[in-house]
Amino acid sequence: MFEDLRDLYQEVIFDHNRNPRNFRVMDNADRKVDGFNPLCGDRLTLFLKMDGDKIVDACFQGSGCAISTASVSLMTEIIKDKTEAEADALFKLFHEMTTGKEEHINLEAVGKLAVLAGVREYPARVKCATLAWHTLDAALKNETQAISTE
């Protein structure tokens, strides 16, 4: 059973890496933040279109490893139509799930993002998975300075 679940999770990660969702430049973005992971070489630019405090569109450009690409692809799908507060709560939950600080994360609460829960067992890969989310955190705070995982 566990192996079937792990295989499914790997397939979702591979799918989002091969066919990233929301991979494009947004010319009319309200917020734009660059993120960089020097350890792995992952680079991304996150674009958000806002309507008040609601994220109405999210997309990215960049290149990175499979985990980084899958993470930002999943993230841009999930945060659309969320308020800034809802997206911030997802960031905090995702960070707890991937860093392993909390042993009992409700995986149903994170939905599709649960596929990345396993990175907590590979500390070098945590920065790959969280790069997009730290970049989102900066965008939610309306910061423009580039984000680095170091």
Residue 1: the pLDDT is 41
Stretch 88-94: mean pLDDT, rounded?
92
Stretch 20-40: mean pLDDT, rounded?
96
Q: Is residue 71 part of a domain?
A: yes
Q: Is residue 79 part of a domain?
A: yes
| 6/142: higher pLDDT | 142
Nearest C-alpha neighbor of 16 from the set 70, 94, 56, 85? 70
Q: Is residue 136 part of a domain?
A: yes
| 115/26: higher pLDDT | 26
Residue 11: the pLDDT is 86
Q: Is residue 149 part of a domain?
A: no
| 36/98: higher pLDDT | 36
- pLDDT of residue 53 exceeding 80, the answer is yes
Q: Is residue 148 part of a domain?
A: no
Assigned token pair, 43: 């680079």
Q: Is residue 150 part of a domain?
A: no
Which residue range(s) make up the domain with 120? Answer: 2-143
Would you say 131 and 71 are in contact if contact means Cβ atoms under 8 Å apart? yes
The three-class DSSP label of residue 8 is helix
- Band the pLDDT of 17: cuts 50, 70, 90: very high
Query: What is the spatial distance between Cα 73 and Cα 124, in angstroms, rounded to a whole number?
Result: 20
Domain count, the chain: 1
Please report, for the domain that includes residue 136, its CATH number.
3.90.1010.10
Q: Which residues contact 37 (CB under 8 A, 6 or more apart)?
A: 43, 64, 68, 127, 128, 131, 148, 149, 150
Stretch 29-40: mean pLDDT, rounded?
95
